[in-house]
Chain A
Amino acid sequence: MPEASAVASRVPPSKALRGRINAVGAAVFVLGLGVWELAVRTGLLDFAYLPPPSDVVVGLGELIETGQLQGALAHTLFVALSGWALAGLLGVAAGSVLGLVRPVWRYSMASLEALRALPIVAFVPVAVLLYGFSARMEIVVACYAALWPILLNTISGMRTEQRLIEVGAVLRLSRPAVLWKIRLPAATAQIVVGLRLGLSISLVLTLVAEMVGNPAGLGFLLVDKAEALQPAQMFAGVFVVGVAGIVLNALLMVAARLAFRGQLNAAGEGG
């Protein structure tokens, strides 16, 4: 991407991290776990298959011990990230063209709107039919799902402020230079928003594809453990999915801040 700023954050990382941890919020979370544990142990919550958090921890240990978790997590992450990365390339490229070339936008917008209105989940059986029970099918689904937010945010980010375009004209920048030095950096903050939304939806659709299609990864693990009546392990899987989503988003934000410090600061999203 253009304008990559090599300057890393000037705040030392340990201090920055400490500033980001919300002690009160964490305490509430721990308290919630405690209440859950208590409610299940005392019989206040009476479901046949609701394990207390302590059992979930044990279940997590079992999953790690058998190596099921590592395999499933690696598969799901590989698929979700591949689909997302593909969507990132396609979405930013196509979004730039759609945002910049008026006729292309006019000819394709109706089709795009129609496709977008189709719930993405409805696309999963289609993909299964086309690509079979394969990782490729999952990647196609994840990519399709992530493409939309990335594409739409790129298109809207490309509507650069007219004055900046005039600045480029007045300084006699070439057309590629206007795109590279003005339009793309001006759109960066919004493209990053699209990438974040795309990443989380790519993970969601990967799980769905694994639940109803390809028997692999975390999605299949959840369904499999539920059917095998192992709620502790199933909840452990849910927990891992949640953590994976949070970690992926955080990693993306750190990477974006390192790469596009100036652009994100300018948009009020810097760290």
Chain B
Amino acid sequence: MTRSSEPTGHGTGSAAGTDSPGATNGTDGTDSISCEGVGVTLSGSSGALDVLGGVDISVARGEFVSILGTSGSGKTTLLRVLGGLLPATTGTVRCHGSVVTGPADGVVTVFQDYVHSLLPWRTVRRNVGLGIEAGCDRAERDERVDEALIMVGLRQRADEYPWRLSGGMQQRVQIARALATRPRVLLMDEPFGALDAMTKASLQDQLQQVQELTATTVVFVTHDVEEAVYLSDRVLVLDGSPAAIGLALDIPLERPRHQVTTKESADYLRLRHRVYEALGHDIGERARLGEHDHA
């Protein structure tokens, strides 16, 4: 826990410092969402458990950052802290300069379990409108809902109930619901983790297009290395116990990326190799479980 007692006053810019491993690569100099010295201790049945310790992250506006880690490494916990759903035990989270104490304005989390995240009694259209009903009049709401549904390609299914759609479509409804609020930051918790490989690939490309169109900042939690490298501007690997950022790797692959050609490029393969290494998959050896000294 290196920076647990930093002042919590409002401030902009990358306070995390350029020497820390999770520091921004500064695409345009202003942070969208950041955290400093975040540690989380959860009380479980077997006593207190330090899940995260001294995590520094700084995400620039419009940046796509993936957080990778092995199962149980605290990726989801970190995302919940960023989203204001879980208070950090130590450290601070800032979003556009203000300290986060609950779900922040303009920050929307997309959950993995789309089945439990959609309201089954509302049609697709009314699910997507849920977050903007209070602030918009009917005409504007309809327009924004349609816009979001078109972005995810579900305009034709607007009047269906979500449980009549396939898993991939349901997840697109949840993404559309987030997009309808016109978020500045999209936090995604293994959004494609429960989907089959083909659906996953097509949703990855759709997300890529949406992000290009809206310039939304995305923090994307996944356990899928290929997915992280394919989508991101930067990949962060959580490592250790309590977990901290073990590797921060810029992904300077050309955009737009393509499922076949990008994944065949030497750069892609080299980056993927480094991420696998950081996750503890030593070459020529079967993956070991447990603690590792990271690269």
Is A157 part of the contact surface with B, judged by Cβ < 8 Å? no
List residues of chain A with CB within 8 A of the CB of B134.
173-174, 177
Is B26 part of the contact surface with A, judged by Cβ < 8 Å? no
**Contact (A170, B121) CB under 8 Å given A161-B116, A262-B161, A266-B161:** no
Interchain CB contact under 8 A, B163 and A266: yes
Nearest-CB residue, chain A, relative to B109 = A170
Listed residue (B105, B133, B134) with the most chain A CB atoms within 10 angstroms of its CB: B134
Q: Mark B117-146, 1 if CB is under 8 A from A, else 0.
A: 101111100000011011000000000000
Interchain CB contact under 8 A, B108 and A170: yes
Smallest beta-carbon distance B114→chain A, Å: 10
CA distance A177 to B132 in the complex (A): 12
Is A54 part of the contact surface with B, judged by Cβ < 8 Å? no
List residues of chain A with CB within 8 A of the CB of B170.
none
CA distance A42 to B185 in the complex (A): 84
- Number of residues from B at the complex interface, CB < 8 A: 25
Nearest-CB residue, chain A, relative to B107 = A170
**Contact (A171, B131) CB under 8 Å given A163-B116, A263-B121, A266-B121:** yes
**Contact (A163, B120) CB under 8 Å given A171-B181, A172-B105, A266-B161:** no
List residues of chain B with CB within 8 A of the CB of A182.
119
List residues of chain A with CB within 8 A of the CB of B177.
171
List residues of chain B with CB within 8 A of the CB of A231.
none
What is the interface of chain A, defined by CB distance below 8 A to chain B? 3, 161, 163-164, 166-167, 169-174, 177, 181-182, 185-186, 188, 260, 262-263, 265-267
What is the interface of chain B, defined by CB distance below 8 A to chain A? 83-85, 102-103, 105, 108-109, 111, 113, 116-117, 119-123, 130-131, 133-134, 161, 163, 177, 181
A–B Cβ pairs within 8 angstroms, 30 of them: A3-B121, A3-B122, A161-B116, A163-B116, A164-B116, A164-B117, A166-B109, A166-B111, A167-B111, A167-B119, A169-B84, A169-B102, A170-B83, A170-B103, A170-B108, A171-B108, A171-B177, A171-B181, A172-B103, A172-B105, A173-B131, A177-B133, A188-B121, A260-B121, A262-B121, A262-B122, A262-B161, A265-B120, A265-B121, A266-B121
